[in-house]
Structure formats: C-alpha cells, structure tokens
Amino acid sequence: MTSSRSDRPLPEHTHIAVLGAGFGGIGLTIKLREAGFDDIVVLDRADDLGGTWQANTYPGCACDVPSQLYSYSFAPNPSWSRTYGKQPEILAYLRTVAERHDVVRHLRLRTELLDARWDEAAALWRIETSRGPLTADYFISAAGIFAEAKYPELPGLESFRGRTFHSLHWDHDHDLTGERVAVIGTGASAVQFIPEIQPKVEALTVFQRSAPWIVPRLDRPTLGLERRLLRHLPLAQKAVRGTWYSLIEGFGLVGFVDNRFRHPYELLGRIQLRRQIRDPRLRATLTPDYMIGCKRAIFSDAYLPALDKDNVEVVTEGIAEVGPHAIVTRGGAEIPVDTIIFGTGFTTIPTAFDRIVGRDGRSIADLYARRPQTYLGAAVAGFPNFFCTLGPFGAAGNQSAVYMIESQVAYIVDALKTLRASGQRRVEVRENVQDAFVDEMRRRSADTVWLTGGCESYYTTPDGGNAGLYPSWSFEYRRRTRRFDIESYEVSA
C-alpha cells in the first residue's frame, strides 16, 4: 500500500468496524460512505489491501471467473488485459478502486483481530487487536473464506529435510529449477501453478486424491479495439457483463435444478481430456468418478497438457509417510523429493470466527461447527449489531462471489440506513427466522448435485449436509436481499 494513511492510530471508538480489506470490505466501505456513514474503520492483518488477491501470489494465480464479471458493477474496468484477470492485475484494480473512492483513509493495516465480544450492558462491540483496543456500535465481518491454508496430516513430515510450503505462502526465493518436486492436491490453485513449474523441474510428482473436472478456459488477451470499445460504450460493457453472468448462472441447472443437465458439461470435459491426454492409462487416471458440479469444476487449458509431459507422474495411491528425502506411498513406492508443495486448499472456517463472540459467550466458529447457520448469509442470531458477507448460504456455486458480495453489501447498508432513520440502535435477527431460513436451505439442498453427486468437498459438511452454498439462482438471492426486512429482526433503541 503506497499511502501512509492506512497506518494511522486506532480510534478509541468507531461507529462501524469492518473486518477485512478484500472485495467485501472495500465494496462495503464505498457503499457505506455513499449512504452518509463516515465513521468507519477497516481492520486487516495484512500489510496491503486485497484480501485473497493480496495473499495468493503463486505462479499462474488468476481468477476463474471472467474479469468483466469478477469486478464491482459500480466500478467497471474496460481495460482488463485478458478474459480472466491474473492476480497482479486484480490487486491493482482493487487498489485503484480503493484510492478513487477514498477507502484508504479508513484502513488500519497490519492490525490483526485478537478478540471481539458483544457487551450487552453497553450495547457495543469490544474489540481487541494487535495494535490495541477499540469499541464499535456495529461490527461487520468481510473476512474471506480462502484466507488460511489447510494442510494434510502426513506421518513423518517433520523429518523431511527439503523445502515445504503451501500455495498460499509461496516461497518465491526458493528456485525449483532442476528439483524433484511433489505437489499434494489437485484443486484450483494446483491446477494453476502446476503448468507454471512443470517446465522448470527435473521431476514432478502430483498426488491426486480425486481427479477434478477440467473444462476449457478459452482465456485470451483482449484486443486494443475491444478495450477502446468498452471504454467509450458503457452499454457494450454492460452487455458483455450480462452475457457472462447468464453463462455462469446457467451452471445452476446442474447444481440445483436437475443433475441430468450435467451431461453436456461432462461431455465438454471428456472431449478436452481426450484431446489433451494421449496416454489411455493416464486419461483413465484423470477421469473423474463423480458428477460434474459435485465439487468445484475447474477451467483450464494448460493443466492437462502439463500432466502429459515426460517429467510428470500422477500418483493416486495415498501417502503412508514422509521420510527425510522421499515420500512413501501406501503401496510401498518410495519417491525421491527435494521440495513438497501443498495445493490442499483452505480452511472452511477462518480463525477470526473463533474470536468473534456473541451475547451468550459462544463464538461464530462454535455455531458453524454445530451446523452452518446465518440468515441470508448476512446476519447471525445471538450476535447483535453484527453483519457479514459470504456467510453460510450467502455464497453461490454458480456465480461470481463479487455478485453475491454486492447483494449482501446492499442489504447491510440498507439495514444501517433503516436503523438510522428509525432511531433504533440495537438489531439482531430473530432466532426463529434464522432457523426457518436454515431449514429452507436444508430442504432445498437435499437433491442438489453437491450432496448427491458422489464426492466429498468443501461444499459439504462432515455429515454430508450443505456447508453453505445458496441452493438457488443468484438473481433470486438478490431479490431477497434487495430490502432490509426489519420485521425479521429484534430492534430497540
């Protein structure tokens, strides 16, 4: 972050405290300011804004949603260099938007949340941070769900004498050239960085638990003519955004309408696999054994060709142990390794949720561990004057996260405007309203491909339930969040 304004001291009290300076926190601050709220502090433990796009810097890091859709509707960017933005360009976009809308002066970077507790007697939030305490009338979490690395438990890992790191904490100082590298995991991050490192390494062993569905990405550089057209014809940019929205929204046909709609998508994946993998045995290894959409399908044109190179081996046997210089499979094979890279994804519950405690002494993480629960993914019973973005049942499996975030931001801002206009200060969603919403989500999820598609993923809870995806169309969700329904809440002065 180039500005020193984000290093200003914490105030003793603020009207609105926001946790997280990614897409959610930046967008929320902009819309709060537009609504006339100015006493806002945005807390983030990182040394720069950007959230996920500040933290993930691995080679090939890019969005898997087209850039025209993975951006704010109120801050269109006609100058994306590619169909799918890469990490540096997305981070630059967020910085530009934050500077343009004067969000930076509200930021307090390098400020980690240590504890946040609702004080019923004082009717405010008491917040402890790594830079000191503050209180807030309202506390809003915009903490991302891809914020902390998830590591597998591997016997003997502590004895390994080579280098290990997770894709979230990429070691840019470590040269992989000529090394024997093991990649554990084949999720979205691994699919992006494997083609980048494959040409450099002597040997690359990819440990695959289950094959991901890979469908064509069709990424390309945008033409100068395209960028000029979008810059001078805003309606053209809206049309492009609308087209991408409709195409991606169509994945809902597979997710929650009828899994028979999966067949065209699966055919597309199989055609790509046959076209890019020559070896029939490798092709069989890379063929998923579950329905597309059961877990996150991945857009890539480079991943499969990288696996078909002579210096790459895909291993499906589980890992028995890690030795000082090798990984041993359950079948007894010993694979020499110099560096282990974990592409094993992220924790489903951010650690910050362990530190946010409501009126009855329970944390958000305590509630989520029992069952995913919110109201509209934006409020939580037992947590007065608290809102959040992308809470359980506030994320979509078939749409850009930014679209869902903007829906929640509009709902939260309308809530605070409604309270201001009515002279009310305390607000908490009614428990029976939240329970009815969670029960609705459970019923509507029962026949979704996420639960019936034959796989395990972060889409599901350990007992096989929906971990938090909204089981319907994103435009329906936007309609539900367009207005703050004060009748669903307990409010008081």
Per-residue model confidence (pLDDT) at position 263: 97
Average pLDDT, the chain: 96
Is the pLDDT at 168 greater than 60, yes or no?
Answer: yes
Is the pLDDT at 2 greater than 60, yes or no?
Answer: no
pLDDT in tens, 157-167: 999 999 999 99
- How many Cβ atoms from other residues are within 10 Å of residue 483's Cβ? 12
| Contact present, 19 and 143 (Cβ < 8 Å) | yes
Is the pLDDT at 134 greater than 70, yes or no?
Answer: yes
Cα–Cα dist 341/338, whole Å: 10
pLDDT in tens, 23-72: 999 999 999 999 999 999 999 999 999 999 999 999 999 999 999 999 99
Is the pLDDT at 17 greater than 80, yes or no?
Answer: yes
* Four-residue CA torsion sign, 179, 55, 79, 216: positive
Is the pLDDT at 373 greater than 80, yes or no?
Answer: yes
pLDDT in tens, 414-449: 999 999 999 999 999 999 999 999 999 999 999 999
Question: What number is the average pLDDT over the span 369-385?
Answer: 96
Per-residue model confidence (pLDDT) at position 290: 97
pLDDT in tens, 321-359: 999 999 999 999 999 999 999 999 998 788 899 999 999
Per-residue model confidence (pLDDT) at position 475: 97
Locate the domains of the chain by residue range: 13-147+348-492, 157-218+257-342
| Contact present, 265 and 255 (Cβ < 8 Å) | no
Quick one: which H or E segment has residue 327?
Answer: strand 326-329
Quick one: which H or E segment has residue 313?
Answer: strand 312-315
Is the pLDDT at 3 greater than 60, yes or no?
Answer: no
Which amino acid would we find at residue 168? L
| Contact present, 151 and 342 (Cβ < 8 Å) | yes
Provide the pLDDT confidence category of residue 286 given band limits of 50, 70 and 90. Answer: very high
Q: Which fold has domain 157-218+257-342?
A: FAD/NAD(P)-binding domain (3.50.50)
Do the domains spanning 13-147+348-492 and 157-218+257-342 agree at the CATH topology level? Answer: yes
Q: Which of the two residues, 342 and 7, has the higher pLDDT score?
A: 342
DSSP 358-416: -TTS-BHHHHHHH----BTTTB-TT-TTEEESS-TTSB-SSS-HHHHHHHHHHHHHHHH
Is the pLDDT at 146 greater than 90, yes or no?
Answer: no
Nearest Cα neighbor of 302 from 53, 55, 64, 56 is: 64
Inter-axis angle of helices 23-34 and 401-422, to 10 degrees?
Answer: 40
Question: What number is the average pLDDT over the span 388-403?
Answer: 95
Question: What number is the average pLDDT over the span 14-24?
Answer: 98
Strand, coil or helix: 334:
strand
- What is the reported pTM? 0.96
Per-residue model confidence (pLDDT) at position 4: 57
Which amino acid would we find at residue 158? E
Is the pLDDT at 452 greater than 70, yes or no?
Answer: yes
Provide the pLDDT confidence category of residue 7 given band limits of 50, 70 and 90. Answer: confident
406 forms beta bridges with none
Is the pLDDT at 376 greater than 70, yes or no?
Answer: yes
Is the pLDDT at 458 greater than 80, yes or no?
Answer: yes
Provide the pLDDT confidence category of residue 246 given band limits of 50, 70 and 90. Answer: very high
Q: Is 266 exposed, middle or buried (0-12, 13-18, 19+ CB in 10 A)?
A: middle
Question: What number is the average pLDDT over the span 81-92?
Answer: 97
Q: What is the CATH superfamily name and number for domain 13-147+348-492? A: FAD/NAD(P)-binding domain (3.50.50.60)
Which tokens go with 129?
């941070």
Q: What is the DSSP letter of 5?
A: G
